[in-house]
């Protein structure tokens, strides 16, 4: 297509000649247009030609906003993935593969009815696993809400704050108490490795089972009250079928038995030849200590007793 120029000094004949040449050689005769093109002017014919060329040697792409782009013959349609978000791979023959990488990053939010990975599913605020167990490895688990019903198993459970409550059992520092009662009940055997501190301790108050300790135990307080019909049994140096029991006759009033501040052996009514001379002080036995008293008096010349001797009667 040649450039057509009409100078200001050219004649009307020159303008006619150039215009006819433009229509004949540059624009061409409209009668020679393809029958598939219905346009009657150059612009519309060009648009129609592009549309026909696109449909045979190219294509149009469109996004969710209805924005379109024509990809014509000879042009390159580039599809680029984003690191950690999406991957696009072109392969033979005429294949485009779009997928997700092994590690996917979502910068804002991800919404789905159910998210599944392996055996684990996350749906409607619930995390489940078909194996029946979910492990958080060695990571810490923190919540500002409440852990609801179910069994919690762990080698160590640590909470923040000074007071924690499990059911009706409250743990505050090193103090354990019931929130709905003044009594703590332990249904299993209880072992205390160190001494029981001062206070009131009730052990099996109504039960019949034995309390056994290989090292003994200490109960602090103002007194120890044995239940009705109970006794204290001592095994002795040998663990056998024989014990020494300490028990009392049913009291009719408050009684006190005081053990003296000394080392020795307790004498009972069953003791025979247990009292020795070293156990009696001088002048400790007088007439009042003898069951039947016989006296022998030594008199002076005037008949006045000088000495009186006491002896057991026959």
**Tens of pLDDT along 154-185?**
777 776 778 888 888 999 888 899 999 888 88
Last residue of a domain, one of 59, 83, 107: 83
Query: Kind and range of the H or E element at 20?
Result: helix 12-21
Considering only 172-176, 191-195, 304-308, which range has the smallest mean pLDDT?
191-195
Q: CA-to-CA distance for 248 and 229, rounded, in angstroms?
A: 9
Q: Is residue 46 a part of any domain in this protein?
A: yes
Q: Is residue 243 a part of any domain in this protein?
A: no
pLDDT of res. 312: 63
Q: Is residue 252 a part of any domain in this protein?
A: no
The listed range with the strongest mean pLDDT (6-10, 58-62, 118-122, 305-309) is 118-122
Strands 68-71 and 87-91: unpaired
Q: CA-to-CA distance for 22 and 97, rounded, in angstroms?
A: 50
Domain that holds residue 76: 12-83
Query: Kind and range of the H or E element at 49?
Result: helix 42-57
Q: Is the pLDDT of residue 140 over 90?
A: no
Q: CA-to-CA distance for 156 and 171, rounded, in angstroms?
A: 15
Last residue of a domain, one of 29, 60, 83: 83
Q: Which residue is it, tokens 């009292």?
A: 275
Q: Is residue 193 a part of any domain in this protein?
A: no
Q: How confident is the model at residue 56 (pLDDT cuts 50, 70, 90)?
A: low
Q: How confident is the model at residue 252 (pLDDT cuts 50, 70, 90)?
A: very high
pTM above 0.75, yes or no: no
Contact (Cβ atoms closer than 8 angstroms) between residue 48 and residue 38:
yes
What share of the chain in percent tops pLDDT 90? 4
Please give the C-alpha separations between residue 105 and each of 99, 119, 122, 178, 260, in angstroms, as whole numbers.
Answer: 13, 21, 18, 49, 85
Look over the chain and give the mean of its residue pLDDT values, rounded to a whole number: 77
Q: Is residue 78 a part of any domain in this protein?
A: yes
Q: Is residue 253 a part of any domain in this protein?
A: no
Q: How confident is the model at residue 287 (pLDDT cuts 50, 70, 90)?
A: low
CB-based contacts of 24-29 (< 8 A; 24+ apart in sequence)? 25/1, 26/1, 26/2
Q: CA-to-CA distance for 223 and 186, rounded, in angstroms?
A: 24
Which among 60, 110, 63 is positioned nearest to 85, based on CA atoms?
110
Last residue of a domain, one of 42, 66, 83: 83
pLDDT of res. 289: 63
**Residue 251: phi, psi to the nearest 5?**
-70, 145
| Number of domains comprising the chain | 2
Q: Is residue 42 a part of any domain in this protein?
A: yes
């Amino acid at each position: 297509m040649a450039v057509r120029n009409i100078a200001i000094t050219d004649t009307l004949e020159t303008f006619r000649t150039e215009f006819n040449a433009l229509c004949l050689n540059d624009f061409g005769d409209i009668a020679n247009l393809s029958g598939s093109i219905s346009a009657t002017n150059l612009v519309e014919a060009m648009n129609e030609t592009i549309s026909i060329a696109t449909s045979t040697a190219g294509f149009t792409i469109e996004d969710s906003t209805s924005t379109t782009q024509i990809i014509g013959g000879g042009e390159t349609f580039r599809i680029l993935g984003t690191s950690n978000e999406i991957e696009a791979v072109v392969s033979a023959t005429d294949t485009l593969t779009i997928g997700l990488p092994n590690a996917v990053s979502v910068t804002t939010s991800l919404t789905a009815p159910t998210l599944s990975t392996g055996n684990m599913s996350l749906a409607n605020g619930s995390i489940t696993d078909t194996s029946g167990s979910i492990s958080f490895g060695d990571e810490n688990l923190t919540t500002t809400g409440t852990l609801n019903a179910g069994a919690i198993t762990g080698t160590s459970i640590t909470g923040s704050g000074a007071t924690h409550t499990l059911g009706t059992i409250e743990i505050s520092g090193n103090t354990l108490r019931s929130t709905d009662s003044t009594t703590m009940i332990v249904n299993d055997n209880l072992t205390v490795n160190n001494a029981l501190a001062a206070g009131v301790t009730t052990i099996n108050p109504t039960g019949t089972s034995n309390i056994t300790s290989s090292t003994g135990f200490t109960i602090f307080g103002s007194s120890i009250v044995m239940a009705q019909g109970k006794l204290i049994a001592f095994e002795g140096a040998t663990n056998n079928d024989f014990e020494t029991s300490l028990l009392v006759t049913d009291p009719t009033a408050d009684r006190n038995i005081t053990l003296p501040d000394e080392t020795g052996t307790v004498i009972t009514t069953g003791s025979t030849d247990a009292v020795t001379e070293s156990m009696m002080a001088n002048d400790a036995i007088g007439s009042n200590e003898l069951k039947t008293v016989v006296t022998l008096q030594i008199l002076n010349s005037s008949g006045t007793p000088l000495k009186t001797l006491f002896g057991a009667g026959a």
